[in-house]
Chain A
Amino acid sequence: MSPRRAAQGGRIDRSGPVRFSFDGHAYTGCAGDSLASALLANGVSLFGRSFKYHRPRGVFAAGVDEPSALVTVLRDGIREPNIPATMLEIYDGLTVESQNRMPSLAFDVGALNQLAGPAIAAGFYYKTFMGPVFGPLKGTRFWMFCERFIRRAAGLGRAGYEKDPARYERMNAFCDVLVVGAGPAGLMAASAAAESGASVILAEQDAITGGSANWSGETIGETPAAEWAAATTDALAGRDNLRILTRTTVWGYYDGNTLAALERVGDHKPASPAGEPKHRHWTIRAKTVILATGALERPIVFPGNDRPGVMLAGAAQRYALEYGVLAGERAVVFTNNDNAYCSAAAMRDAGAEVAAIVDVRREISPAARELARQAGGELLLGHAVVDTEGGKAVTCAKVQPFDTASGTLSGSPKSITADCVLVSGGWSPTIHLASQAGGKPVWDEQQQAFLPPAPAQRWIGAGGLDGATTSEEALRQGWDAGRASVDGPPAPYAAPLVSSLELDARPAPVLEIPGKGKAFVDLQHDVTADDIRLAHREGFVSVEHLKRYTTLGMATDQGKTSNVPGLAIMAAALGKSIPDVGATRFRPPYSPVSIGSLAAERQAEIKPERLTPMHDWHVANGATMYSAGLWFRPMIYGQPGETVEQAYVREARAVREGVGMVDVSTLGKIAVQGPEAAEFLDRVYTNTFSTLPVNKARYGLMLREDGFVLDDGTTWRLGANDFLMTTTTANAGKVMQHLEYLLDVVWPQLRVHLTSVTDQWAGIAVAGPKSRAMLAACVSQTAVDDAALPFMGIVHGRIDDIPVMVCRLSFSGELAYEVYCGAGHGAQLWEALMAAGQPFGMVAYGLEALGTLRIEKGHVTGAEIDGRTTARDLHLDWMLSRKKPFVGSAMMDREGLIQPDRMQLVGLVSLDNRPLNGGGHIVEHGDGEIRDDSLGHITAACYSPARRQYIGLALVRNGKARVGTHAFVSDPMRDRFGPVEIVSHHMYDPQGSRMHG
């Protein structure tokens, strides 16, 4: 054991060493140690370099409030920076490095920044951003010049570039009562709530429950407080209506009593079992929240207060009692309150020498005086520590008489040799979550601290958070909160006796000792007391502005130790009281949250994949797949050596000359059922569906309320009151929402049900002049000739033993059919059609060929139905019924929607025999100059095997009148300029003789 480690006591297990490394040096510690306690036990005092000035820094706190001792954990090739050494549990093989130093922690060239101190004070960035008003580095150029140097010098840890292999998960939890904090109050609250039978979650950010009971040194009931906490926890753990979450920080309190928590599941383990996440994000929805978050000690600000060895008094007590580690061997305790006397006595009991207790007050309680006697050393009342000395660690504290009333020093300083200065400025309730929940914190003059606001949501405070200053009070408040959180009769409270001392809970209102030299308020962001005063002199009067200008409290520790001292200094500068200056509103997160935990299970799959029943066949048969929304669809079935263009031209030509088939299962399909289904369709489509006979389909067009086109598709009448509506793949969800809205809100009296049946049906389009013969060869139980199955007719039959529904309709312009079957039969149907088609030269075709065929034919898709086009723009005005109203009919004839110079659908033919591209613009000049004179843009383009030309569709201003004229394509992004002819969008078989044949 090291001389800094006590032989017994605390939560650590001394039975075997735990090996870890810090900056390449091997160390050992005990199981249960934090990195901070283990390094302190090894005599390490220098933990890192500060943010701006690169000053040497040690460990300042013992918990989540640690501002200085931040380290980077190296694990599995990943760098995880800015982890407080106080929150990191050691394990065998832990590898850690210090931060913000070059080349080493002991010798850091960045420390030269200390010489430039005044130049990089508050507002440094703002002042630098502005730059000179003239010269080569005018304006932001100066910033751009400086940025690379600043970025290298400033900052905290450095993140890596490697992919994080760790797993993160999220969890949804619901409970009657969420207890945040498992100190004495939280344990008591959880016990009281759980006894009533309520479902309870008890969340504790530390590895073990107990909170201050682990280091108060008190006795609760008959046992030491830590043992009481362990026994109480064991009793709770046996209940099946209570879940204890340790290593879990509740970091956000949102509306509706929804709270966010981070559970560090694997950070303390050398290796995680299969499937176990590193971090788990909890979303907890609680009927009632009990906040038992305790209080955080704050320092007194004085020059030299950042030297390694200066530490919060409570932290030193915690190291001594919880970890059996001495923060130093000879301590000076500096305080404005009675509490630090307990810390002094604890240090003495643990084997340290207390050189002096320095108290700004002239009067202290008898109990404190007794503790001082036990601690030994000088008791210097009416004094203050005014400076420290030492290089990378404190060697002595300078002490001087101080008058609390006037805030002035007198006499001359005297030096006291010490290797640690333990400082206490009183305690601030941890009101972060209470503040996040809403409401303004309330200043308490007695405690010199902000107490939580009146609850704006259903939460109850207990313990240190609620101003309790003794464990006895905390236990009672915890019990009361637990009972109040649940229904049921009041339960008698059998208070365990606590051996607390009669200490004076009121700190003196002193949070800064004036003097020369840097006195740090925010240790992590290197904000000094002078920075705050400078901000005040520069005109910052609002505390919110002060915060942003100086960055006080904006570092990863979120100002847990600096908030109240900063406000006190600001208030003094303004000549106001602290409550008049006010507190800033706390926001989530309470402490840093891993991004991985927020992404949680979505890290592996950003989006789910929607697959058609034939997906595996496509992949196995050489299809190049691409995504269409969440769907995956075949682009081409390329053959060896083929380009994409060669492949789709081959496929499209095969359709025009023989027969091809394409997977259309992705089309949106909605079952529209009910006695008023036909009436409903008449209202939502521009054309009439009530006249459609059973077993016939009709092409339909839908408008939005504003008269623009929403979507198109065919709807099949399967029964008198049973329709199968199809939508475009991309718009399926949008159309469903639109229709559901109309039924729910506009026409609730219509008896119509809508059900998504997209996934019920597999769909295969069979197209080409040989398609009928091919189907005739394989479909049984129905004929498919022109009489039995006319254009837009529907028949039911079988292919092999698969029940199918065949509708004769065409997107390609060829004689074509859509064959539907239950999705579970889709793959078999596909293979059956493929086999039956072999004698006819059947070819599977992908989306590129599908696109080519429809471009040749001039059929529109989402590229043209882009939310800005009207039915007239797309030559679909023939579908606008004049006999009935429909959604959009009132608005579709607005002046702006019927102007002849609107962009209208046209066909394009490339005259230089080069490809066109979607997005290219159409202009009237051919000189390649880029002017603001676009006539419109290309929506789709391909090589047309039917026309043996590069063609496209475009939306062109006054396009109908331009048919037959020449124009130019202007596509500067692709450097594509050249002549085109504007033609009718019907570029192939305009009479439709092929598909009606």
Chain B
Amino acid sequence: MADRLSPLEPVYRPGNHGNLAGGAGVVLGERQPGSIVQLAVWSGQERPALAVMLDVTGMRLPDGAGSGSAREDIAAFGFAPGRFLLVSEAEGLADRLRAALSEELGTVTDLSHGRTAFRIAGAKAEWVLAKLFAIDFALAAFPTGAGRSTSHHDIFAQIQRSGPEQFDLYVFRSFARSFWHTLCRAAEETGYEVR
């Protein structure tokens, strides 16, 4: 199959940028996971649906709003009541989930092309993101694995904390280039490396 093209292609400049006096405070990058899939569950069917998710992906989600779990190869988090985003390095996750999930439990929507995945990592990641989003990024309030739905003005974003100093952001593809500019600009103060 044809390669998926990044919306950032002409503006993606690997290397160090911004104020590097103290080294790069964050590393920014685009991830290109094989699958980005939404699992939406009918009210009251969360437990059996999550059991299907566990079967298909091996991911077990803790209870609670916005909770999630992140591994290098696969990640999942709840971003709204009964709605989960699943991100896998492997392609075809939507088809596998759809085959396993009864329509009586919920629906599966493939968003692999429709969302662009960004990663920001480093000591200053919370600081840079706090410039853009009015949510609390402190580890206590936003634990590793958890996910949030939020927005930067017109740009809707789903954010998962995938490590103590690492966040993955999912943004509508058509906004990705604008958001990349915004993210890079916000990181100039701390210095950033694009990988």
Contact = CB atoms under 8 A, between A and B. Distances in A.
Q: Say if A and B assemble together.
A: yes
A10 B179 CA distance: 48
A239 interface: no
Interface stretch (B67-75, B105-113, B158-166): B105-113
A223 interface: no
A274 B18 contact: yes
A264 to B, nearest CB: 15
B109 A823 contact: no
B189 A608 contact: no
A890 interface: no
Interface in A147-185: 169-174
B174 A276 contact: no
Interface stretch (A425-433, A547-555, A756-764): A756-764
Given A276-B189, A608-B153, A828-B5, A757 B131 contact: no
Nearest to A273: B19
Interface stretch (A344-352, A797-805, A913-921): A797-805
A242 to B, nearest CB: 13
B155 A608 contact: yes
B19 A760 contact: no
B114 interface: yes
A751 interface: yes
Contacts of B109: 671, 673, 753, 755, 757
A388 interface: no
Interface string A341-366: 00000000000000000000000000
B63 interface: no
Contacts of B21: 273
A173 to B, nearest CB: 7
A539 interface: no
Interface string B178-190: 1101100111111
B103 interface: yes
Contact of A823 (B2, B9, B114, B179): B114
Interface string B1-42: 111111101100000001101000000000000000010101
B173 A823 contact: yes
Interface stretch (A105-113, A456-464, A598-606): A598-606
Given A751-B42, A758-B174, A803-B1, A608 B182 contact: yes
Given A751-B42, A823-B113, A758 B131 contact: no
B182 A827 contact: no
A674 interface: yes
A612 B3 CA distance: 17
A989 interface: no
Nearest to B192: A275
Interface string B107-126: 10111111100000000000
Contacts of A823: 113-114, 173-174
Contacts of B173: 613, 759-760, 823-824
A616 B176 CA distance: 14
Nearest to B173: A759
Contacts of A631: 174
Contacts of B10: 616
Nearest to A762: B113
A631 B1 CA distance: 28
A84 interface: no
A630 B138 contact: no
Given A171-B130, A608-B178, A827-B5, A760 B186 contact: no
A675 interface: yes
A609 B177 contact: yes
Interface string A278-293: 0000010100000000
A74 interface: no
A822 interface: yes
B147 to A, nearest CB: 16
B19 A276 contact: yes
B189 A824 contact: no
B135 interface: yes
Interface residues of A, number: 55
B112 A822 contact: yes
A755 B38 contact: yes
Contacts of A199: 138, 140
B55 interface: no
Contacts of B174: 610-612, 631, 665, 758-759, 823
A277 B40 contact: no
A499 interface: no
B95 interface: no
Interface in A722-764: 751, 753, 755-762
A601 B186 CA distance: 8
Contacts of B179: 608
A675 B188 CA distance: 49
Given A605-B178, A616-B10, A753 B130 contact: no
Contacts of A591: none
A962 interface: no
A613 B115 contact: no
Contacts of A608: 153-155, 175, 178-179, 182
A826 B175 CA distance: 15
A810 B170 CA distance: 34
B185 A825 contact: no
Contact of A611 (B7, B110, B182): B7
A862 B191 CA distance: 45
Contacts of B131: 169-172, 601
Contacts of A612: 174
Interface centre among A721, A751, A758 (most CB of B within 10 A): A751
Interface in A274-329: 274-277, 283, 285
Interface in A653-695: 665, 671, 673-675
Given A275-B188, A277-B189, A630 B114 contact: no
A974 interface: no
Contact of A601 (B103, B106, B112, B185): B185
Contacts of B133: 172
A802 B4 CA distance: 10
A449 B186 CA distance: 45
A675 B103 contact: yes
Closest 10 CB pairs of A and B: A275-B188, A824-B4, A760-B114, A608-B178, A822-B113, A174-B136, A275-B189, A610-B174, A673-B107, A759-B173
Interface of A: 169-174, 199, 273-277, 283, 285, 601-602, 604-605, 607-613, 616, 630-631, 665, 671, 673-675, 721, 751, 753, 755-762, 800-803, 822-828
28 contacts: A172-B135, A173-B130, A174-B136, A199-B138, A275-B19, A283-B134, A604-B185, A608-B153, A608-B154, A611-B174, A611-B177, A612-B174, A613-B5, A616-B10, A673-B107, A674-B42, A757-B109, A757-B111, A757-B114, A758-B114, A759-B172, A760-B173, A801-B1, A803-B1, A822-B113, A824-B3, A824-B173, A826-B5
Interface of B: 1-7, 9-10, 18-19, 21, 38, 40, 42, 103-104, 106-107, 109-115, 130-136, 138, 140-141, 153-155, 172-175, 177-179, 181-182, 185-191
Given A171-B131, A608-B178, A760-B110, 19 more contacts: A169-B189, A172-B131, A172-B134, A275-B18, A275-B188, A276-B19, A283-B134, A604-B185, A610-B178, A611-B7, A613-B7, A616-B9, A759-B115, A760-B111, A760-B114, A762-B113, A801-B1, A802-B2, A823-B174
